[in-house]
Amino acid sequence: VPKQNDLLNYFQVS
Amino acid sequence: MFEARLVQGSLLKKVQEALKDIVQEASWDCTSSGLSLQAMDGSHVSLVQLTLRADGFEKYRCDRNLAMGINMGSMSKILKCAGNDDVITLKAEDTSDRLELMFESPKGEKISNYEMKLMDLDCEQLGIPDQEYSCSIKMPSHEFARICRDLSQIGECVVITCTKDGVQFSAKGDMGSGTVKMSQNLGAEKEDDQVTIEMTEPVQLTFAIKYLNMFTKATSLSGSVCLSMSNDVPLVVEYKVEDMGHIKYFLAPKIED
């Protein structure tokens, strides 16, 4: 079952 | 002083409808170049980014940068008080904790004034890298909404596969499976009815349909929608807001455990 990834894994907090 | 007057006030009503299900509170950033907003949903799975350029407003003034913390539920309630044909003006003093909203009927015989309390929000801003995508798909926005609605009956996830032949949306669940394929169609009479696919590399990604369905609340803003995808990065779903800006939704893919 695919797991939901988190957006914070892609975008840096600026 | 911040002041923005939008003759086509219905655009702001539609923008608000397109945002309110995803974000409960958001900072509306006002600068001399326009209004913008960036916010994530509570579970950090999706992000919405709105841009409304100053030159799209009939009148626009912003003397000092302002970040207006807005409760989106309150904003929706107040914007529902505006008629579809009303002219909407937003106003705030530089140091005020209130946003004034004025709605004028087209002939000017009815003028409504509302004031909304602003909030102190401590928002994390994310840096979204500028990036080239392997696939860009432009298709009629109502078709995309229909596909998301239809496949959400079948399963919770949709697999989007883009090749040079077309784009395929598939879902499966306890009762069975469903697949919708859209092929490139450059011959459509109206530009909004065209399906165009630009691809440098095939892409296959899996997403939670629930979020895509929330994004389709923006359908009434634009006749077409653009999906941008690369393997292993968030999907971008973009709707134009006339010629004054856009709403972009980003959605993190599901990954194999």
Q: Does B48 touch chain A (CB under 8 A)?
A: no
Are A7 and B256 a contacting pair at CB < 8 A? no
Provide, as residue numbers in chain A, all residues whose Cβ is less than 8 Å from the Cβ of B252: 4-7, 9-10
Mutate to test the interface with A, among B22, B23, B43, B44 (most CBs of A within 10 A): B44
Phi, psi (degrees; rounded to nearest 5) at B206? -115, 135
Q: Which residues contact B13 (CB under 8 A, 6 or more apart)?
A: B79, B80, B82, B84, B88
Mutate to test the interface with B, among A6, A9, A10, A13 (most CBs of B within 10 A): A10
Q: Which of A2, A5, A14 sits opposite B126 (nearest CB)?
A: A14
The count of C-alpha atoms lying within 13 angstroms of the C-alpha of B34, restricted to the half-sphere facing its C-beta, is 15
Q: Give residues 111 to 140 of B whose Cβ lies within 8 Å of A.
A: 124-129
Question: Which tens digit of pLDDT belongs to each residue from B158-177?
Answer: 999 999 889 999 999 999 99
Question: Which tens digit of pLDDT belongs to each residue from B109-158?
Answer: 999 999 999 999 987 788 998 899 999 999 999 999 999 999 999 999 99
Are B129 and A11 a contacting pair at CB < 8 A? yes
Provide, as residue numbers in chain B, all residues whose Cβ is less than 8 Å from the Cβ of A8: 44, 126
Are A12 and B253 a contacting pair at CB < 8 A? no
Are A13 and B127 a contacting pair at CB < 8 A? yes
pLDDT the model gives residue B122: 81
Q: Yes or no: say if B213 and B149 are a contact pair by the CB < 8 Å rule.
A: yes
Question: Which tens digit of pLDDT belongs to each residue from B180-191?
Answer: 999 999 888 899
SS (H, E, C) chain B: CEEEEECCCHHHHHHHHHHCCCCCEEEEEEECCEEEEEEECCCCCEEEEEEEEHHHCCEEEECCCEEEEEEHHHHHHHHCCCCCCCEEEEEECCCCCEEEEEEECCCCCCEEEEEEECECCCCCCEECCCCCCCEEEEEEHHHHHHHHHHHHCCCCEEEEEEECCEEEEEEEECCEEEEEEEECECCCCCHHHCEEEEECCCEEEEEEHHHHHHHHHHHHHCCEEEEEECCCCCEEEEEEECCCEEEEEEECCEECC
Provide, as residue numbers in chain B, all residues whose Cβ is less than 8 Å from the Cβ of A1: 257
Pairing assessment for the beta strands B126-127 and A12-13 based on DSSP bridges: antiparallel
Provide, as residue numbers in chain A, all residues whose Cβ is less than 8 Å from the Cβ of B45: 4-7
Residue with tokens 């972009």: B248
Please say whether the dihedral angle defined by the alpha carbons of residues B20, B21, B27 and B32, taken in this order, is positive or negative.
negative
pLDDT value at B6 more than 80: yes
Cα–Cα distance for residue pair B73/B133, rounded to 1 Å: 34
Interface size A-B, in CB pairs within 8 Å, comes to: 54
Share of chain B above pLDDT 70, in %: 100
- Label residue B247 by pLDDT band (50, 70, 90): very high
Cα–Cα distance for residue pair B215/B22, rounded to 1 Å: 8
Cα–Cα distance for residue pair B86/B177, rounded to 1 Å: 45
Q: Other C-beta atoms within 10 Å of B140: how many?
A: 22
pLDDT value at B52 more than 80: yes
Q: Which of B45, B254, B256 sits opposite A7 (nearest CB)?
A: B45
Q: Does B257 touch chain A (CB under 8 A)?
A: yes
Q: Other C-beta atoms within 10 Å of B115: how many?
A: 12
Q: CA of A4 to nearest chain B CA: how many angstroms apart? A: 4
CA separation, residue B191 to residues B45, B108, B188 (Å): 32, 35, 7
